[in-house]
Structures are given as structure tokens and as C-alpha cells.
Amino acid sequence: MMGSENDDEAHLHASTEDMENLFLRDDKSNSDPLSPHPITVATPADSDPLSASPQSKPNGGDSRSYIEPPSYADVIFSPFDDNSEINGSDDTHSSDYSLSRSPSSSVSSDYIKITVSSPQKEQETSTSMLSGGGTYITYLIATRTNLPDYGGGSEFSVRRRFRDVVTLADRLAESYRGFCIPPRPDKSVVESQVMQKQEFVEQRRVALEKYLRRLVAHPVIRSSDEVKVFLRVEGKLPLQASADVASRMLDGAVKLPRQLFGEGGGVEPARGGRDLLRLFKELRQSVSNDWGGSKPAVVEEDRDFVEKKEKMHDLEQQIINASQQAETLVKAQQEMGATMGELGLAFIKLTKFENEEAVFNSQRARANDMKNLATAAVKASRFYRELNSQTVKHLDTLHDYLGLMMAVQGAFADRSSALLTVQTLLSELSSLEGRAEKLEAASSKVFGGDKSRIKKIEEIKETIRNTENAKNVAIKEYERIKENNWSEVERLDRERRADFLSMMKGFVVNQVGYAEKIASVWTKAAEETSQYDRESS
């Protein structure tokens, strides 16, 4: 499913490619665009770079070169963040996000692959006041996996709309507080009005695919009920949609006394729960999600945590920067290839012209020289384009981690809000206890007791007991989230280390491979024109 933009670009490339192909057909070119060659990237077992002599000039099919020309040699280059048409190939660097991506995991035979495709318009059936009679888009979400959690080897697919994804994300945020949950795609209401419908749908499809793939890359979240249900259960998504953050907080708050009193099932707030609900509503106001720009309501005393948070912030900044520079690099590589190709074509035309108009032998000789140059330029141009499409895949890792850094932010925010809950309950407790003390002191002054005051004291003591329990539960929750935070950050650091290493290696191997190919093309052209060598060396 490609937007119209990509089609135009494809057509443009097609005609340029045709001209090049016509020209190169007689020439025994290295890369036959029709023969299927899967991309192979050198792994440690395949070739030791130290043993391969730096002087080796690989021709087509030479196994010492690092990268074979891919079957789609006339690859149509697409924008930096759009990998969709490359997903169909068998290359190992696709955005599969399967387990094999991180070398730190030992079980490399497990996989789960998700594809999002075939957007479809559907009619709103319910007569809800919100949408009554409108249309919405659904996407086909196909899963292929051999994870035991999903019942061994299986394939299944469901249709989901974007609203379902929002629900899934919200549910996960509640259930996995403290975890680094990948952020879901934006709702972007404005964009949907401004963009062309087709373009918007395609953009959303890509974003959904990326999101779901990231979700199932998470070792814990992939096994969650929410995700399983989302991927497997056909028809209406059986997850309760949360209306807003407030009730999400309320849900969480309500859980506490339920857990405490061992009550199951019902959603009725327990005794004293009403006060708690009010408390939490107020709490919601003071939770700030930024990185400490405004004065935080929570008092963070854990030095390690503060340090870690700052480090994460720095890291995020640098990843943003590197990601931007990577985009610029990719554009520059693209332009180099394009201009080299245009130069080649210009010389092809000159060659034809001189041959047609030739009166003197010197003209024919020159036409021949031009042909050699043109051939080299056209081939080099192709290599640049291939180099670039590979570079995109490797450096995309940087782009991915931007999303993951946001997930870390979310995890840290969960922790902060949990701590805030604890601190608020503590201060509430101390103020309640203060009030109780005052009442007792006042009531003791009245001889024989003060019936109304005593009743009040009883009520306050009840509230204190509930608040005390809530505080204990909140502390447990906070500790639990802290644990999650810690293990998640550890995991992320490990994975990031591995992913970045893999990215660097892939990038460098790619550069080396194509540099060799391009060098061989020009060396040949230099040999063909060696009669014009005028240097004394």
C-alpha cells in the first residue's frame, strides 16, 4: 500500500533506470538486476576482515566482498522513516524486532512477527451519541509466532481500529506502571483533516505496525493479557476503554482498599473509599510529567534515581541530535548517487552524439572514453543508492530509540506519581492525627465526655485507619514500581548497548562493502583511460 507520492517517485526512477539499463545491457555489468540475491551481511563466522586483503577488488559474485548486490538493485529509495516496501525481503536487518535482534538473548529461534495492512473503511453501526453514522478505518493485524504463550506455532489475524489501539495503550499503562512501555502513535486529529486521506491512512498504518512490533519486542508486555487479547480476539475488543486519566487514577485508587480487604470483583468503592477518591482527584493535578522543568510536587530523595534521570535526559538529547545528523547524512548520500547518475546519463548522451556526428577518429576515440566514464558513473550511482538504503536501515536504530526514551520517561513518571501518592497520604495522615489529638485534648477537658466530639473522634480514627492502610498499600505499590523501573532500565541499557553495537557494525560493514565496489568500478575506468596518464609517479 503506497501513497501516490511514492508512485510518482517510482515512475521517475523507472524511466531513469530504463535508460541506464539500455545502456548497460551490452556492457557486462557486475550487478544483474534480475538475478535474485539475498542480502548477506558478514557475520563473525563468515569473513574475518583482518584476513581479507585491503587490496582485493571484488567483482560480481566475489565472496570476499561484504555485501552482495540485492535482488532489487534498482531499489526505489523512500523517505527516511518509511521502511514499508523493504519489509517484504528476507534481509536480516528488517524492522522485525524479533528476538534475534538483540544478541544478549540466547533463545534466537523464538519469533513473533506482526504485519499491519489493508486499511478498510467501515460504517459505524452503534447509535452512540459520539459518532452516530460516521465511518472509520480498520486495519488488518496479522501475527505469526511460535511463542509458547500464544500456543506454539500459529498464525492469526484480527481487524482493529485506531480507537482500539488507544484502549490497549491505556490499559497497558495502568497494568504496567514503572515499565518502559513504548509510546503509542499520536491521535493527531489536526493532521487527519489536513493531509490527503490516503497519505494519512498509510502513515498511520506504518506507525501502528512500528508500535505493535515494539510492544511485542518487550519481554514482559508481549505476554500480557492485554496484548494477547488485542492480537487474537476477533470482533469487538474486549478491553474496557478508559475515558480519561482521572478515572484511570480512580480505578487504581479503588484497587487499593479492594486488595486490602480481599474484596474481589465489584467496582464499588469500599468504606472510606470516597475520601480516597477525592484525594486522588486532587493528586492528579499535581503529577507533572516533564523532566523537572517546573517545580516538582514530589520530593525525590533518592540520589541514584535523580542521577539516573538526568543521565537519561542527556542521552535522549544526544540521540535526538545523532538521529537528525543521520537524516542529513542519508540525504547527502542520496544526492551524491543521484548527481553521479545524472552525470553518467549526460555523458551517455554525449557519447551517442559524438558517435552519430563523428567525422574524425579523434571524435570516435573521445566517444569511447566518454562511454567508459559514463558506465562507471552509472554503476557508481547505483551503488550509492544501494549503500543508502542499507544505511537507512542501520541508522534507523537511532530513530527507534527516540520512541524508547519516551517510554523511559513514562516509567519514571509512574514512579514519581506513586511516590507523590505516598507522600500525600503521609501528609494527610499526619494532619488527620493532628486533628484527632486536638479533639481528644479538647474533649478531655469536658467532664464526663463530650458526646458529639467523641463521635467525631471515632470517625476520624476510622479515617486514619483507612488512610494508614492506603498508605501501606501505596508504599508497596511504590516499591513495586521502583523495582519495575530498575529492572526495565537495566534491560534497556543492555539492549541499547547491543542494538547500538549492532547498528555501528552494520553501518561500518555497509560502508566498507560499498566503498570496495565503487572503488573497483572507478579503477576499471582508470585502467581503460590509462593511456592518458600524465603523472610522473
Partner 1 sequence: MESSTEQARNVMQSPRSPSSQPYLSASVTDPVKLGNGVQAYISYRVITKTNLPEYQGPEKIVIRRYSDFVWLRDRLFDKYKGVFVPPLPEKSAVEKFRFSAEFIEMRRAALDIFVNRIASHPELQQSEDLRTFLQADEEFTFLFQTMERFRFQETGIFNKKPADFMQMFRDVQSKVSDAVLGKEKPVEETTPEYEKLKHYIFELENHLAEAQKHAYRLVKRHRELGQSLLDFGKAVKLLGACEGEPTGKLFSDLGTKSELVSIKLQKEAQQVLMNFEEPLKDYVRYVQSIKEINLDKLMLTRSDKVGEAEIEYREMKAESEEATIRFERIVKRMNEEIVRFQEQKTEEMGVAFHQFAKGQARLANGIGDAWRALLPKLEAASSA
CB atoms within 10 A of CB 326: 21
Among 328, 427, 430, 431, binds partner 1 (CB under 8 A): 328
Give the C-alpha separation, 31 to 23, whole Å. 14
3-state secondary structure 372-395: HHHHHHHHHHHHHHHHHHHHHHHH
Question: Who's near 133: CB < 8 A, 6+ residues apart?
Answer: 123, 124, 127
| Shortest Å distance, C-beta 246 to partner 1 | 37
- Of the candidate spans 107-115, 174-182, 318-326, 449-457, the one that interacts with partner 1 by CB under 8 A turns out to be 318-326
User: Residue 141 in 3-state DSSP?
Assistant: strand
Distance of CA 219 to the CA centre of its chain: 15
> How many positions of this chain bind partner 1 (CB under 8 A)?
71
CA atoms within 13 A on the CB side of 268: 5
Among 340, 418, 439, 470, binds partner 1 (CB under 8 A): 340
| Shortest Å distance, C-beta 403 to partner 1 | 16
| Shortest Å distance, C-beta 345 to partner 1 | 8
User: Which amino acid belongs to residue 409?
Assistant: Q
Residues 367-396 that bind partner 1 (CB under 8 A): 369-370, 372-373, 376, 380
- Structure letter (DSSP) for residue 86: G
Contact 29/379 with Cβ under 8 angstroms? yes
Residues 491-520 that bind partner 1 (CB under 8 A): 493, 497, 500-502, 504-505, 507-509, 511-512, 515-516, 518-519
| Shortest Å distance, C-beta 526 to partner 1 | 4
User: Which amino acid belongs to residue 506?
Assistant: G
| Shortest Å distance, C-beta 322 to partner 1 | 4
- Does 306 contact partner 1 by CB under 8 A? no
- Of the candidate spans 67-75, 271-279, 346-354, 472-480, the one that interacts with partner 1 by CB under 8 A turns out to be 346-354
Among 87, 286, 339, 427, binds partner 1 (CB under 8 A): 339
Contact 473/259 with Cβ under 8 angstroms? yes
| Shortest Å distance, C-beta 79 to partner 1 | 17
| Shortest Å distance, C-beta 360 to partner 1 | 5
Residue 104's nearest CA partner among 497, 508, 506 is 497
- Does 331 contact partner 1 by CB under 8 A? yes
Give the C-alpha separation, 42 to 23, whole Å. 32
Comparison of 198 and 363: residue with beta carbon closer to partner 1 = 363
The mark string for 347-366 relative to partner 1 (x by CB under 8 A, - otherwise) is x-xx--x---x--x-xx-xx
| Shortest Å distance, C-beta 344 to partner 1 | 9
CB atoms within 10 A of CB 477: 21
- Does 12 contact partner 1 by CB under 8 A? no
Residues 200-239 that bind partner 1 (CB under 8 A): none
User: Which amino acid belongs to residue 232?
Assistant: R
- Of the candidate spans 186-194, 199-207, 436-444, 521-529, the one that interacts with partner 1 by CB under 8 A turns out to be 521-529
Comparison of 136 and 353: residue with beta carbon closer to partner 1 = 353
Among 103, 133, 151, 292, binds partner 1 (CB under 8 A): 103
Cell digits for 459? 470517625
Angstrom distances, CA of residue 381 to CA of 17, 67, 292, 334, 384: 11, 16, 49, 9, 5
Comparison of 144 and 366: residue with beta carbon closer to partner 1 = 366
- Does 287 contact partner 1 by CB under 8 A? no
Contact 149/136 with Cβ under 8 angstroms? no
Angstrom distances, CA of residue 40 to CA of 58, 70, 92: 15, 9, 8
136's enclosing H/E stretch is: strand 135-145
User: Which amino acid belongs to residue 302?
Assistant: D
Among 4, 104, 286, 325, binds partner 1 (CB under 8 A): 325
Residues 30-69 that bind partner 1 (CB under 8 A): 44, 48-50, 54
User: Residue 351 in 3-state DSSP?
Assistant: helix
Comparison of 259 and 511: residue with beta carbon closer to partner 1 = 511
Comparison of 2 and 329: residue with beta carbon closer to partner 1 = 329
Comparison of 127 and 531: residue with beta carbon closer to partner 1 = 531
